[in-house]
Amino acid sequence: MVLETAAGEEAGRPAILGTEEPGGGQCSSAVAMRIKAPVHLLYPLLGRTLCIVSNPLKFIPVTQVWSLVRRFDEPHIFQPFVRGCKIHGSVAVGCVREVDFKSGFPANSSVERLEILDDKEHIISIRIIDGDHRLKNYSSVLTVNPEVIDGQPATLVIESFVVDVPQGNTADETRHFVEFLIWCNLRSLSLVSERLLAQGGDN
C-alpha cells in the first residue's frame, strides 16, 4: 500500500491505493479520503447531549469524527445506500448486525460481524458472513488517521478490502464495483463530517 498516493490528493476526493493481489480467486484494493475535519470533533447531535451550558436550550455534545465510523450499529449515519440496521447484542468485537439496503441497491440485506474495534488506534474491521449479495468472504479494515490540510487539523481515512471474485465476473470488475461503493461511503463521510464542523464543531 502506498500512502504517498493519497497524500497528494485533493481533500474530499477518493484515491485508489495499490495493494498486492491476495490470489486464490480473490481481489483486494484500498481507497483513501482526506477530510477537512479533525479526527476529534465537537458537534451537536440531537438526542445525544453530553453537557449543557448556561443557556438551558443550548446543548453541546462532545464526540469525534471517529465516532461516525465506529458506530457499527448505525451505518446509515454516513453510508448512503443503507436504510437501517439491527444489531444483535451490544457493540463489541464479535457482535453481528443485519443491514437493510435502500431500494435500487443490488442487494436487500447483509449480515456482518465486527472483527476489530480499536478506539485507541482508530481501526474498525468488518466481515460479511451472510446476505443476498455476491460479496462472499468480504472483509474490510478502515483506519482513521490525523492529517493536516491547509494548516488545519484534518483526517485521512483509508479503507482496504479483500473479497472473493464471483463466478462470471473478473477480478477487475469486482474490484471496481467494491471501490465504487467505498468511494460513495467515504465521500458521504467527508460531507457529513465537514457539515457538522461548519455547524459549530471544533477541534
Q: What percent of the chain has pLDDT over 90?
A: 59
Q: How many CB atoms lie within 10 A of CB 183?
A: 17
Helix (H) or strand (E) holding 148: strand 139-149
Each residue's pLDDT tens digit, 131-178: 999 999 999 999 999 888 888 888 999 999 999 999 999 999 999 999
Cell digits of residue 187: 465521500
What domains sit in the chain, N to C, each tagged with a CATH number? 4-198 (3.30.530.20)
Please list the helix, strand and coil fractions of the chain in percent, rounded to the nearest 5, in that order.
Answer: 20, 40, 40
Compute the distance between CA of residue 88 and CA of residue 70 in angstroms, rounded to an integer.
Answer: 16
Each residue's pLDDT tens digit, 5-16: 333 445 544 454
Q: What is the pLDDT of residue 128?
A: 97
Query: Contact, 90 vs 96, CB < 8 A?
Result: no
* Phi, psi at 15, each rounded to 5°: -130, 140
Which pTM was predicted?
0.79
Query: Contact, 115 vs 142, CB < 8 A?
Result: no
Owner of C-alpha cell 490470489: 23
Q: How many CB atoms lie within 10 A of CB 95?
A: 16
Q: What percent of the chain has pLDDT over 70?
A: 74
